[in-house]
């Protein structure tokens, strides 16, 4: 009996579903659904003190990334809210647009950002090892322009790294994770010395991080590394006051080469196409097919109506004395009568559903010419035919 009881307990324990470690709390789930957001799987793993972003759909049907940020009731929370409000007004082709900010219970806020179809620069560097001169010029031009736009609005990114730069399927670059720098100290291998010491994110620290990012892109190419050392010497200075601005650094992109497109690996391209695949088209609603018998019957009714109208018109002209009865009858066969609705000769009417017959091409009728030897009565006949 003890063995049977143990087996029943084991089977009951196995049948219970395992808890999902990536699942959100029921309160957050209900609040997100109430805000019109459909939450999908997480994009990565949770970090200490920060939940992983999740893929989802907003109320407008757009593919978005949902970032769940914790908002404490102190100066840091107020600073985060101020930054989110400023990010919503930014519009730049190389910056992921921030759409909405939804306040959730337990001191959280959900921020919806555009989902970029592509792969991050870290994946591209891991697959290829480095970039060419024209690709490095594109990185400097796009990312430097995005940072210059942020700095012009009084903002700093704080974590410029290969993982936060997306390479789109069109070969461009987009800067993402615009609020990660205010919660972290940045990526170690790209962070400025003052950021590693716990300093705040500044435009000068973003310039240093961009220069360190370009230095990583030059691995495997001695020619590109030598050019970057000449261009990025002042940007990698330990003194923030000696570094150039992001706009001045982006203006040096032509010194590397003409900016070109970045080509994603085949696997990353296929994965990017599956991320933002368009929904299947709605089926076309067509009218129900019409039976051949019904269509033939309708054509027969229209033909009979036209012929009756033409016959009545011809008789009326004959009775009124405007034309002789013979001329009125010929009017039905002429082009004038057909202009009044006579679509066929006034012969015997066919049935609405005639039997299928094989149509043979008929030879054109030769036109009769009036000879001088013919009497004048033929002129009237020839004119009406």
Residues 172 and 74 grouped into a single domain: no
Two tokens at 238?
């330990």
Q: Rounded mean pLDDT of the chain? A: 75
Looking at 82, 114, 146, which one is the last position of a domain? 114
Band the pLDDT of 251: cuts 50, 70, 90. very high
Q: Cβ(54)–Cβ(45) under 8 Å?
A: no
Helix, strand or coil, per DSSP, at residue 165 = strand
Q: How many structural domains does the chain have?
A: 3
Lowest average pLDDT, out of 112-121, 150-159, 193-202, 308-317, goes to: 308-317
Two tokens at 385?
């035919």
Lowest average pLDDT, out of 61-70, 86-95, 154-163, 362-371, goes to: 362-371
Residues 128 and 208 grouped into a single domain: yes
Helix, strand or coil, per DSSP, at residue 214 = helix
Question: What is the per-residue pLDDT for 95?
Answer: 95
Query: What is the Cα 81 distance to its own chain's centre?
Result: 30
Two tokens at 116?
């970029």
Distance in angstroms (rounded) separating the CA atoms of residues 120 and 126? 10
Residues 171 and 256 grouped into a single domain: yes
Distance in angstroms (rounded) separating the CA atoms of residues 250 and 175? 15
Residues 73 and 220 grouped into a single domain: no
Per-residue pLDDT for 281 more than 50?
A: no
Distance in angstroms (rounded) separating the CA atoms of residues 125 and 215? 12
Residues 206 and 317 grouped into a single domain: no
Q: Is 8 domain-assigned?
A: no
Band the pLDDT of 7: cuts 50, 70, 90. low
Residues 84 and 141 grouped into a single domain: no
Q: Is 13 domain-assigned?
A: no
Distance in angstroms (rounded) separating the CA atoms of residues 206 and 158? 6
- Where residue 262 sits, what CATH number does that domain have? 1.10.510.10
Enclosing domain of residue 233: 118-275
Q: Cβ(111)–Cβ(98) under 8 Å?
A: yes
Q: Cβ(31)–Cβ(104) under 8 Å?
A: yes
Count CB neighbours of 132 within 10 A.
19
Top-confidence range, 115-119, 275-279, 296-300, 368-372: 115-119
Distance in angstroms (rounded) separating the CA atoms of residues 105 and 116? 28
pTM above 0.85, yes or no: no
Nearest by Cα to 108 from 49, 55, 48, 68: 68
Residues 258 and 132 grouped into a single domain: yes
């Amino acid at each position: 009996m003890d063995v049977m009881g143990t087996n029943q307990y084991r089977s009951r324990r196995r049948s219970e579903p395992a808890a999902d470690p990536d699942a959100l709390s029921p309160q957050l789930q209900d609040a997100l659904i109430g805000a019109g957001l459909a939450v999908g799987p997480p994009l990565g793993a949770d970090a200490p003190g920060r939940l992983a972003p999740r893929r989802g759909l907003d109320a407008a049907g757009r593919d978005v990334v949902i970032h769940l940020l914790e908002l404490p009731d102190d100066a840091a929370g107020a600073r985060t809210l101020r930054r989110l409000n400023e990010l919503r007004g930014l519009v730049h082709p190389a910056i992921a647009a921030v759409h909405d900010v939804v306040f959730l219970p337990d001191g959280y806020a959900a921020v919806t950002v555009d989902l970029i179809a592509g792969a991050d620069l870290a994946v591209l560097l891991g697959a290829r090892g480095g970039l060419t001169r024209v690709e490095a010029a594109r990185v400097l031009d796009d990312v430097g322009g995005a940072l210059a736009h942020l700095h012009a609005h009084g903002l700093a990114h704080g974590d410029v790294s290969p993982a936060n730069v997306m390479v789109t399927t069109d070969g461009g670059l987009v800067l993402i994770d615009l609020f990660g720098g205010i919660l972290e100290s940045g990526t170690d291998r790209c962070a400025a010395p003052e950021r590693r010491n716990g300093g705040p994110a500044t435009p000068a620290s973003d310039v240093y991080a961009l220069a360190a990012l370009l230095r990583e892109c030059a691995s495997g190419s001695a020619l590109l590394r030598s050019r970057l050392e000449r261009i990025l010497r002042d940007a990698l200075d330990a003194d923030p006051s000696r570094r150039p601005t992001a706009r001045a650094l982006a203006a040096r992109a032509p010194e590397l080469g003409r900016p070109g497109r970045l080509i994603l690996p085949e696997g990353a391209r296929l994965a990017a196409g599956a991320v933002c695949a368009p929904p299947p088209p709605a089926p076309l609603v067509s009218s129900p097919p019409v039976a051949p018998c019904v269509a033939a019957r309708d054509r027969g009714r229209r033909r009979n109506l036209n012929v009756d109208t033409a016959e009545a018109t011809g008789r009326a002209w004959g009775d009124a004395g405007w034309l002789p009865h013979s001329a009125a009858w010929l009017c039905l066969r002429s082009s004038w009568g057909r202009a009044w609705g006579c679509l066929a000769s006034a012969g015997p009417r066919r049935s609405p559903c005639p039997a299928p017959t094989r149509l043979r091409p008929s030879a054109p009728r030769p036109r009769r010419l009036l000879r001088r030897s013919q009497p004048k009565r033929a002129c009237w006949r020839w004119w009406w035919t």
